[in-house]
């Protein structure tokens, strides 16, 4: 059992939860994730560890409500418990002094871009951040990114805040401005965004890493649910990743696999809403 210490909605349908998990907090490294089962009836879902405080034994998770399990998880209030939190899992981000690193977060992907940017900064890199959201309300972790980045660009699709456009538009401008003098790009967000970043940096020969989030079940390499094609080989995101060389990832194949579960997820979410409404009435 893992006590929820705090819970706040940081964007529409995006909830930050600080959770007691001392064993995870003391060991986790940037880029790693936990597999969470909120309630007895729930499925397991992977969530990146956004931050940790070993002294208080807590980890921070950011959850976008997209289906049944995330709905069940975010219904848990401070003082209540999450059933299972297993981790840290996955390979940590490869961190060293690369030089100039651009960490890009598209929407909720910023929850993953932030700990990577923090690790890169601590390793002595010049870190630039690019974070974006559909509109002002969907930009998350701006203060946290600003406090560690040497430079930060914020974009919104509708221009309601920061620079109008996609994060990829901002990246293109940074590449032009520096004539490609960027040593590493890290990109996390929706698949079309990571694919677009990858296409852009390939043109300029800039090494690029993406963090993938396919469906995961056990998170330990046993079920095969998280398989992705990288450089023509099958890899399991939970044990071989979740970070991979963007220029080798088959994004179209991954998108097809994610779409295959869409109807089942919608049905499960519908049942979940009914279940939670019944529980709240009792
Ligand atoms: P969103 O659809 O609102 O997009 C966020 C931003 O990404 C946009 O503001 C834009 O700047 C950029 N973007 C979107 N589509 C683009 C395109 N075609 N080309 C270029 N840029 C584009 O995102 P959201 O609703 O916040 O969802 C976040 C997504 O990130 C979800 O799909 C989620 O699965 C994914 N995610 C991934 C990880 C991971 O580890 N890879 C972690 C958390 C979330
Ligand atoms: Fe089962 Fe990766 S989640 S193999």
Of 65, 89, 113, the residue at which a domain comes to its end is 89
Q: What is the pLDDT of residue 131?
A: 98
Of 89, 124, 157, the residue at which a domain comes to its end is 89
Three-class secondary structure of residue 157 per DSSP? coil
pLDDT at 163 over 80: yes
108 and 80 share a domain? no
42: domain range? 2-89
161 and 73 share a domain? no
Atom of ligand 2 minimally distant from the CA of 219: 3
pLDDT at 116 over 80: yes
Q: What angle do CA 274, 279, 280 make, to 5 degrees?
A: 100
Please tell me the distance from the alpha carbon of residue 217 to that of residue 222, in angstroms, as a whole number.
9
199 and 219 share a domain? yes
Query: Best substitution site from 86, 238, 261 to test ligand 2's pocket, by max atoms within 8 Å of Cβ?
Result: 238
pTM, entire model: 0.91
Average pLDDT, the chain: 92
| Residue identifier of the C-alpha nearest atom 34 of ligand 1 | 190
pLDDT at 275 over 80: no
pLDDT at 229 over 70: yes
- Going by pLDDT thresholds of 50, 70 and 90, the confidence category of residue 174 is very high
- Going by pLDDT thresholds of 50, 70 and 90, the confidence category of residue 257 is confident
Could you give the angle at which helices 167-177 and 191-204 cross, rounded to 10 degrees? 10
**Contact by Cβ (8 Å): 272, 71:** yes
In a domain, 217, yes or no: yes
Could you give the angle at which helices 251-260 and 262-281 cross, rounded to 10 degrees? 50
In a domain, 270, yes or no: no
Please tell me the distance from the alpha carbon of residue 232 to that of residue 56, in angstroms, as a whole number.
43
Would you say the CB of residue 106 lies under 6 angstroms from ligand 1?
A: yes
| Residue identifier of the C-alpha nearest atom 4 of ligand 2 | 221
Q: Which residue has the tokens 């694919």?
A: 195
Query: Best substitution site from 32, 225, 261 to test ligand 2's pocket, by max atoms within 8 Å of Cβ?
Result: 225
In a domain, 263, yes or no: no
Would you say the CB of residue 216 lies under 6 angstroms from ligand 2?
A: yes
Mean pLDDT calculated for residue range 90-106: 97
83 and 135 share a domain? no
In CATH, what number is assigned to the domain containing residue 50?
2.40.30.10
Q: What is the pLDDT of residues 10-66, one digit of tens each?
A: 999 999 999 999 999 999 999 999 999 999 989 999 999 999 999 999 999 999 998
Ligand nearest to the CA of 237: 2
In a domain, 274, yes or no: no
In a domain, 269, yes or no: no
Residues 6+ apart with CB under 8 A from 117: 101, 103, 127, 129, 145, 148, 149, 186
132 and 226 share a domain? yes
Query: How many domains does the chain divide into?
Result: 2
Sign of CA dihedral 153, 159, 161, 166: negative
Q: What is the pLDDT of residue 220?
A: 87
């Amino acid at each position: 059992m893992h006590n929820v210490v705090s819970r706040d909605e940081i964007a529409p349908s995006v909830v930050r939860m600080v959770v007691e998990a001392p064993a995870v907090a003391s060991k986790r490294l940037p880029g790693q994730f936990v597999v969470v089962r909120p309630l007895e009836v729930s499925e397991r879902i992977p969530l990146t560890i956004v931050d940790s405080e070993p002294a208080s034994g807590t980890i921070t998770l950011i959850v976008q409500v997209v289906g049944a399990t995330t709905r069940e998880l975010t219904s848990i209030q401070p003082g209540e418990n999450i059933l299972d939190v297993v981790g840290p899992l996955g390979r940590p981000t490869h961190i060293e002094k690369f030089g100039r690193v651009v960490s890009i977060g598209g929407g909720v992907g910023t929850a993953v871009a932030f700990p990577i940017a923090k690790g890169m900064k601590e390793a002595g890199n010049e870190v630039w951040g690019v974070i974006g959201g559909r509109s002002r309300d969907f930009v998350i972790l701006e203060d946290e990114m600003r406090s560690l980045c040497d430079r930060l660009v914020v974009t919104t699709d509708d221009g309601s805040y920061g620079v109008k456009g996609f994060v990829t538009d901002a990246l293109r401008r940074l590449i032009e401005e520096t004539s490609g003098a960027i040593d590493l790009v890290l990109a996390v967000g929706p698949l079309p965004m990571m694919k677009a970043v990858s296409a852009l940096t390939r043109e300029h020969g800039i090494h690029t890493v993406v963090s993938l989030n396919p469906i995961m079940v056990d998170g330990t390499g046993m079920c095969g649910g998280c398989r992705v094609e990288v450089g023509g080989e099958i890899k399991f995101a939970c044990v071989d990743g979740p970070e991979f060389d963007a220029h080798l990832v088959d994004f179209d194949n991954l998108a097809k696999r994610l779409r295959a579960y869409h109807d089942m997820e919608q049905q499960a979410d519908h049942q979940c809403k009914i279940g939670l409404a019944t529980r709240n009435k009792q």
